[in-house]
């Protein structure tokens, strides 16, 4: 006689748990799954899928490893550095002062001294993911909105909206002016929100932009800041790729704009930073919020209890980044290497007949495949994306996953692989484009 | 750099503007007193001794030795730097497999093999603080409630409620039965809540208990588990002190009880962390272990907001899977805790102070009712101020744990060296003997004034008590006297 084994009755979870706002059923992640199932490996799986959908910086690890060799105190916890015991016990949400000072110094170096930062305004979080969510909890109530220029980082849908209940209203940008943010677009987004009875609490920009790979110009920053001031809303500037600008003179931080204005109306401005991209250390979970608003600093610090940075990691990075010579050297060399990669991929794509947006920063390029689309629609774009994934065996990110208003654009990462792998990828694209022509 | 921020105060969210962060509680006042005047054996021997911080500092020598002997566990040493790149890139929210395996094994060892844990059900979070909050986000909507036996860990008010919008319904326990929570109490609280149209989603137990320092009995756990399963409520067990049980009865985990009790495993979840048992709060290692696949998946996605640093995962994966070391540690740590605990209890007895008979945790639940004139919150607060300012000990008043019965205090004993223990005990002895002298004097004073009216006497005595508070304290926004949110919450 068969015995029926009843599965334990399933249980109702929260609305947040049931919602799809975590975003994982989207194309952006489907590509990752395809890669996970058939990952390229130079030796063992040379025909596998090459991961070009992951914005990681793997070009400068040798510099980090060299630095570690010089700083044994990072591991021994001895000789003047805080002992193991103190470090292991340290859970103060202010964060290690040495670490905050080191981060400040690094951020100032990236901006070539164009802005000064105060370590007392640095709030630490476990990654920029946590920083953006935390700021949203502080600046907006459920049902409110943040305005975000499109195309934008797909993770924002989860980070800004999932548990906070806050909405994103897009500031639509397009290729007619190289996707730059305009005052008209800002106003249009604000009006759209108003027409839906949604209260706008702030603008969130990413500078340099992900996925565009372009810095925002000073005059556009001024316009955005003026807009935020006019509407009396916040401005969050996610500057996570600030150290990955190919030429130092081309990056202007909102901090510099504020300094030039003698910090008038600065209490509405907050900067997000992280070491995941510039230093290539996403595993260490190092994010920061820098706010010019005292109440935001205090509240963010309290909230960071849910997402502190491991004191072991704070100690390690304090040791490394306090070495100003290393920091300066790293930033310069890293920039140069990224620029070289960028130039190589642009060149390779061009010779295959593909153009990209003229970029000057980041770990990716913004590739224009709209001429290849059957129809200028999202569906066509996704068809093309599937072809890229399944036939060309490249995982690249479709513009629609970044909420791009124009179909046919793709984000292609170039810094998360060896030079050889990049050549293999370019070779595959070449072959594909040739096949298409015949 | 100073920036005018008042006018944008209204431009922040409700969450940012409310006091859900919990820092206005007296729990933190004592910390502030300590921060301003911290005890140091040589540099500041008259400073405040920190007895409000539940830390385990007794076994660092063992861990430090292990680290010295295992240079490959660190990605910074020349032995370990080969792994630097792979570890530094690793941000997969599943967590390093070795780490999950090591934690699962460790949790099983702590439970003496009575239950085993599946590494695929282990989800990381930013400390137990992050774990608690994340779990609530998964299980409940704003406005829903959880039943929590009181006295309970003060930060639950923030962790479970602040950003989630969820409510806590305390289930009051008192000294009549040694503060043990009973099925009857939980049932009654549940019924009352339902009558008030509150949607109760579950029960949260801390076992071993903070602040009581006792383990829950197998019978209690069984009856509560049956009840929650029957009512389709979640059973969340915070077992953060599970490896800090130093006297009998031995620790019984909900994971064990589940095997012998008819229940719905989809309703059972465990919170864990290495902050207490291993003494590593700085490393932010929080763990959610759920028997519900959906919860595991949801919590894992949410863990993106609070992953454990891969550097720390790597170190701990190595440490926790060193079976020889762990066996030694799990024997030695409770032994040292038992010794310290016993010594403290004895010292307090000599001062005629009794504690709840505890067998776990890093603290004692001290009974000071006999030192209060009346069993009120006011009296407890006054006594507490005296202990901080005159005796110079930061202990935590029971009211900050929502204890319904005034007069109890949590005293931490594992966050200091032996010398400091002696200083603390000495101060307590001196305080108690001085107080009984004063009591005698006061008795004489009372006799003299008895011929005057009672009204004038009580007016005089309250003025007397007020002067015990310095002007600074009276002006403190953290004053727990009548307008404190704590008092408001209870009426």
The pair of three-digit structure tokens given for residue B60, joined into one six-digit string: 């660092």
pLDDT digits (tens, 9 = 90+) for A222-266: 999 999 999 999 999 999 999 999 998 899 999 999 999 999 989
C-alpha span between A370 and A389 (Å, rounded): 17
A58 has a chain B CB within 8 A of its CB: yes
With an 8 Å Cβ cutoff, are A312 and B315 in contact? yes
In a mutational test of the A interface, the residue from B4, B5, B314 whose CB has the highest number of chain A CBs within 10 Å is B5
Residue A206: its pLDDT value, please?
A: 98
Residue with token string 């959880």: B146
**Closest among A197, A258, A262, A195 to A224, alpha carbons compared:** A258
Tell me which chain A residues have a C-beta less than 8 angstroms from the C-beta of B309: 126, 283-285, 309-310, 312-313
**How close B284 comes to chain A (CA, Å)?**
6
Question: Residues A103, A171, A233, A240: which is the catalytic one?
Answer: A240
Question: Residues A238, A241, A289, A342: which is the catalytic one?
Answer: A238
Task: Indicate if the pLDDT at residue B471 is higher than 50.
Answer: no
C-alpha span between A353 and A370 (Å, rounded): 12
With an 8 Å Cβ cutoff, are B16 and A138 in contact? yes
Residue B458: its pLDDT value, please?
A: 30
What letter would DSSP give residue B2? -
Bridge partners (DSSP) of residue A124 are: A288
Residue B442: its pLDDT value, please?
A: 62
Tell me which chain A residues have a C-beta less than 8 angstroms from the C-beta of B19: none
Residue B28: its pLDDT value, please?
A: 74
Q: Is the dihedral of CA B132, B133, B137, B141 positive or negative?
A: positive
Tell me which chain B residues have a C-beta less than 8 angstroms from the C-beta of A232: 11
Strand B363-367 and strand B354-355: the pairing is antiparallel
With a CB cutoff of 8 Å and minimum separation 6, the contacts of B293 are none
**Long-range CB contacts for residues B108-113, cutoff 8 Å, separation at least 24:** B109/B326, B109/B327, B109/B330, B110/B242, B110/B243, B110/B251, B110/B277, B110/B330, B111/B242, B111/B251, B111/B253, B111/B255, B111/B256, B112/B250
Q: Is the dihedral of CA A156, A158, A163, A165 positive or negative?
A: positive
Residue B460: its pLDDT value, please?
A: 32
Closest-CA residue of A relative to B64 is: A84
A266 has a chain B CB within 8 A of its CB: yes
A431 has a chain B CB within 8 A of its CB: no
pLDDT digits (tens, 9 = 90+) for B73-108: 998 888 888 999 999 999 999 999 999 999 999 999
C-alpha span between B412 and B98 (Å, rounded): 34
Task: Indicate if the pLDDT at residue B491 is higher than 60.
Answer: no
Q: Render the burial of B64-78: b for 16+ CB within 10 Å, e for the rest.
A: eebbeebeebbbbbe
Bridge partners (DSSP) of residue B459 are: none
Residue A6: its pLDDT value, please?
A: 59
C-alpha span between A371 and A352 (Å, rounded): 13
Residue A249: its pLDDT value, please?
A: 87
**Closest among B86, B61, B57 to B317, alpha carbons compared:** B86
C-alpha span between B260 and B256 (Å, rounded): 7
Task: Indicate if the pLDDT at residue B432 is higher than 60.
Answer: yes
For A12, other C-beta atoms within 10 Å of its C-beta total 12
Ranges of chain A with pLDDT below 70 = 1-7, 25, 27-28, 76-82
For A6, other C-beta atoms within 10 Å of its C-beta total 5
Q: Count A/B contacts: CB-CB distance under 8 Å.
A: 244
Report the alpha-carbon angle A140-A143-A145, nearest 5.
55
Tell me which chain B residues have a C-beta less than 8 angstroms from the C-beta of A320: none
pLDDT digits (tens, 9 = 90+) for B320-377: 999 999 999 999 999 999 999 999 999 999 999 999 999 999 999 999 999 999 999 9
Is the reported ipTM for this assembly greater than 0.90? yes
Is A153 assigned a catalytic role?
yes
pLDDT digits (tens, 9 = 90+) for A32-79: 888 989 999 999 999 999 999 999 999 999 999 999 888 877 776 654
Closest-CA residue of A relative to B85 is: A61
With an 8 Å Cβ cutoff, are A312 and B279 in contact? no
With an 8 Å Cβ cutoff, are B3 and A15 in contact? no
Closest-CA residue of A relative to B262 is: A8
C-alpha span between B372 and B375 (Å, rounded): 7
pLDDT digits (tens, 9 = 90+) for B50-73: 999 999 999 999 999 999 999 899
Closest CB from B1, B74, B308 relative to A263: B1
C-alpha span between B169 and B203 (Å, rounded): 9
With an 8 Å Cβ cutoff, are B284 and A126 in contact? yes
C-alpha span between A204 and A183 (Å, rounded): 14
A282 has a chain B CB within 8 A of its CB: yes
Residue B37: its pLDDT value, please?
A: 94
Residue B210: its pLDDT value, please?
A: 98
Lowest mean pLDDT among B1-10, B23-32, B441-450, B463-472: B463-472
Closest-CA residue of B relative to A163 is: B137
B172-182 average pLDDT score = 96
With an 8 Å Cβ cutoff, are A14 and B57 in contact? no
pLDDT digits (tens, 9 = 90+) for A318-354: 999 999 999 999 999 999 999 999 999 999 999 999 9
B410-439 average pLDDT score = 91
C-alpha span between B148 and B150 (Å, rounded): 6
Provide the annotated active-site residues of B: 153, 238, 240, 276
pLDDT digits (tens, 9 = 90+) for B186-196: 999 999 999 99
In a mutational test of the B interface, the residue from A9, A15, A17 whose CB has the highest number of chain B CBs within 10 Å is A17
Mark which residues 325-354 of A lie under 8 Å from B by CB.
none
What letter would DSSP give residue B374? S
């Amino acid at each position: 006689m068969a015995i029926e084994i009843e599965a334990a009755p399933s249980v109702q979870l929260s609305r947040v748990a049931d919602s799809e706002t975590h975003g994982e059923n989207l194309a952006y992640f489907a590509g990752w799954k395809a890669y996970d199932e058939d990952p390229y490996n130079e030796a063992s799986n040379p025909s596998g899928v090459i991961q070009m959908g992951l914005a990681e910086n793997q070009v400068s690890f040798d510099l980090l490893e060299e630095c570690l060799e010089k700083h044994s105190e990072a591991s021994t916890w001895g000789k003047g550095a805080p002992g193991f015991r103190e470090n292991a016990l340290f859970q103060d949400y202010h964060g290690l002062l040495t670490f905050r000072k080191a981060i400040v110094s690094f951020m100032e170096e990236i901006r070539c001294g164009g802005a000064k930062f105060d370590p007392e305004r640095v709030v630490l979080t476990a990654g920029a993911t946590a920083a953006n969510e935390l700021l949203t909890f502080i600046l907006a109530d459920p049902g409110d909105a943040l305005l975000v220029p499109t195309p934008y980082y797909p993770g924002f849908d989860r980070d800004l909206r999932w548990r906070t209940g806050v909405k994103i209203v897009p500031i639509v940008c397009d290729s007619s002016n190289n996707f730059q943010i305009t005052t008209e677009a800002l106003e249009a987004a604000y009006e759209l929100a108003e027409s839906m009875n949604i209260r706008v609490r702030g603008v969130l920009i990413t500078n340099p932009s992900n996925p565009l790979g372009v810095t925002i110009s000073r005059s556009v920053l001024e316009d955005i800041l003026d807009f935020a001031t006019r509407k009396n809303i916040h401005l969050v500037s996610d500057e996570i790729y600030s150290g990955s600008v190919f030429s130092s003179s081309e990056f202007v931080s909102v901090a510099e704009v504020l300094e030039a204005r003698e910090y008038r109306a600065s209490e509405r401005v907050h900067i997000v930073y992280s070491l995941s991209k510039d230093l290539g250390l996403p595993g260490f979970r190092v994010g920061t919020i820098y706010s010019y608003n005292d109440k935001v600093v205090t509240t963010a610090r309290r909230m960071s209890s849910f997402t502190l940075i491991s004191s072991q990691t704070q100690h390690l990075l304090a040791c490394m980044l306090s070495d100003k010579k290393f920091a300066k050297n790293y930033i310069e060399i890293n920039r140069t290497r990224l620029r070289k990669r960028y130039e190589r991929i642009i060149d390779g794509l061009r010779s295959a007949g593909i153009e990209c947006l003229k970029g000057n920063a980041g770990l990716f390029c913004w590739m224009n495949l709209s001429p290849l689309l059957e129809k200028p629609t999202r569906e066509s774009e996704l068809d093309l994306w599937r072809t890229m994934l399944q036939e060309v065996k490249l995982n690249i990110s479709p513009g629609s996953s970044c909420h791009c208003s124009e179909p046919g654009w793709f984000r292609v990462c170039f810094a998360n692989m060896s030079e050889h792998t990049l050549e293999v990828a370019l070779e595959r694209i070449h072959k594909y484009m040739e096949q298409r022509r015949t | 750099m100073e920036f005018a921020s008042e006018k944008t105060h209204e431009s922040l969210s409700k969450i940012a503007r409310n006091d859900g962060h919990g820092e206005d509680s007296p729990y933190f006042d004592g910390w502030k007193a300590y921060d301003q005047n911290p005890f140091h054996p040589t540099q500041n021997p008259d400073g405040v001794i920190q007895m409000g911080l539940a830390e385990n500092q007794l076994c660092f020598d063992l861990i430090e030795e292990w680290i010295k002997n295992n240079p490959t566990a660190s990605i910074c040493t020349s032995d370990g730097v080969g792994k630097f790149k792979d570890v530094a890139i690793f941000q997969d929210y599943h967590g390093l497999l070795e780490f999950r395996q090591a934690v699962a094994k460790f949790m099983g060892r702590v439970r003496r093999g009575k239950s085993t844990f599946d590494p695929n059900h282990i989800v990381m979070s930013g400390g137990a603080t992050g774990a608690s909050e994340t779990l609530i986000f998964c299980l409940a909507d704003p406005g829903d409630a959880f039943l929590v036996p009181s006295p309970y860990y003060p930060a639950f008010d923030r962790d479970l409620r602040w950003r989630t919008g969820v409510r806590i319904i305390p289930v009051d326990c008192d000294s009549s039965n040694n503060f043990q929570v009973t099925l009857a109490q939980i049932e009654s609280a549940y019924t009352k809540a339902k009558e008030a149209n509150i949607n109760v989603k579950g029960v949260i137990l801390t076992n071993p208990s903070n602040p009581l320092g006792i383990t829950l009995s197998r019978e209690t756990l069984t009856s509560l588990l049956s009840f929650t399963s029957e009512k389709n409520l979640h059973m969340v067990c915070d077992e953060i002190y599970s490896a800090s049980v130093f006297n009998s009865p031995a620790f019984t985990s909900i994971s064990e009880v589940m095997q012998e009790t008819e229940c719905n495993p989809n309703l059972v979840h465990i919170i864990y962390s290495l902050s207490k048992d291993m003494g590593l709060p700085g490393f932010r290692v929080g763990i959610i272990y759920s028997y519900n696949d959906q919860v595991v998946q949801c919590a894992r996605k949410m863990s993106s907001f609070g992953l454990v640093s891969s550097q720390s995962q790597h170190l701990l994966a190595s440490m926790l899977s060193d079976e020889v070391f762990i066996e030694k540690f799990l024997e030695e740590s409770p032994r040292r805790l038992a010794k310290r605990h016993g010594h403290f209890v004895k010292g307090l007895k000599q001062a005629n102070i009794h504690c709840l008979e505890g067998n776990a945790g890093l603290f004692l639940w001290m009974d000071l009712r006999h030192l209060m004139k009346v069993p009120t919150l006011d009296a407890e607060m006054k006594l507490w101020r005296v202990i901080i300012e005159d005796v110079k000990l930061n202990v935590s008043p029971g009211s900050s744990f929502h204890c319904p019965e005034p007069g109890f205090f949590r005293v931490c004993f594992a966050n200091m060296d032996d010398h400091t223990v002696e200083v603390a005990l000495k101060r307590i002895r001196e305080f108690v003997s001085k107080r009984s002298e004063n009591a005698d004097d006061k008795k004489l004073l009372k006799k003299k004034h008895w011929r005057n009216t009672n009204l004038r006497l009580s007016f005089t005595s309250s003025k007397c008590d007020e002067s015990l508070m310095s002007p600074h304290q009276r002006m403190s926004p953290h004053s727990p006297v009548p307008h404190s949110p704590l008092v408001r919450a209870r009426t």
